[in-house]
Chains A and B, each alone.
Chain A
């Protein structure tokens, strides 16, 4: 397989996100539609059912740096959430405490990341964690 360069990879992800071809439980798009470097993205995750996150919509901010997708993006929650891998002051998802970031592979996408965070919310150890008031932000 050839290595798709960063920009064409991000354009593919953008197209998939724009056309809503991904799963319904998450979404993502460019934060600034004029940004030719395609660095900053907004995403949402729909809280998984049968958990304290059910029916909540969480906003996240994603930054795809120069080395993406060889290196993982940085991702932080905008909406307040109580999860062990999320820094409770900044909302940042801590790389060393979240397997998808820690063991990042080039084939992973922003969608992989959002869906894996959703799975993290649904883990037996996490799903009943007390959550902040809905709609509050970091």
Chain B
């Protein structure tokens, strides 16, 4: 494999030495661009009782291109679809090379705290969310209990 750019080495070191509270990111030994990630559900959100698994990959053009991230834990959220794909501006059009793995993961944690049903990826979930927010939040809580690891 081609040698790893300095920027990625630096970011990885800092993720380990100075971790973000509630977030872990660990590169796979056989592919240092591929990270196993966990994010704790934010307090006062329907996800607060769970820890969610994700995977992150830094493409060849990183940091000119955004990291690719996906949830591996099933989650009921209007901006995350059934395959774990995430609808988040910083992963798409608002990506900038000034952002980092850590800022991306923080943005995802923030997305869990404030779902945005008006810019949905999972249309059926967003519809439920708009029609009956209370019931949707209850379902999100239930899925967290069913599929996420307990904190």
Please give the residue numbers on chain A whose beta carbons come within 8 Å of chain B beta carbons, in ascending order: 1-5, 7-8, 11, 14, 33-36, 38
Contact = CB atoms under 8 A, between A and B. Distances in A.
Contacts of B68: 8, 11
| Secondary structure call for the B interface | loop
Contact of B60 (A1, A5, A35): A1
Contacts, number: 40
B59 interface: yes
A11 B84 CA distance: 10
Nearest to A4: B57
B34 A5 contact: yes
Interface in B73-88: 74, 82-85
18 contacts: A1-B2, A1-B60, A2-B60, A3-B1, A3-B34, A4-B59, A5-B31, A5-B34, A7-B55, A8-B70, A11-B70, A11-B83, A11-B85, A33-B82, A33-B83, A35-B83, A36-B74, A36-B83
B72 interface: yes
Interface of B: 1-2, 31, 33-34, 55, 57-60, 68, 70, 72, 74, 82-85
B1 A5 contact: no
A2 B83 contact: no
B1 A2 contact: yes
Contact of A34 (B60, B82, B85): B82
Nearest to B55: A7
Contact of B57 (A8, A14, A33, A35): A8
| Nearest 6 pairs of A and B residues by beta carbon | A5-B34, A2-B33, A8-B57, A8-B68, A34-B82, A2-B60
Contacts of A5: 31, 34, 55, 57
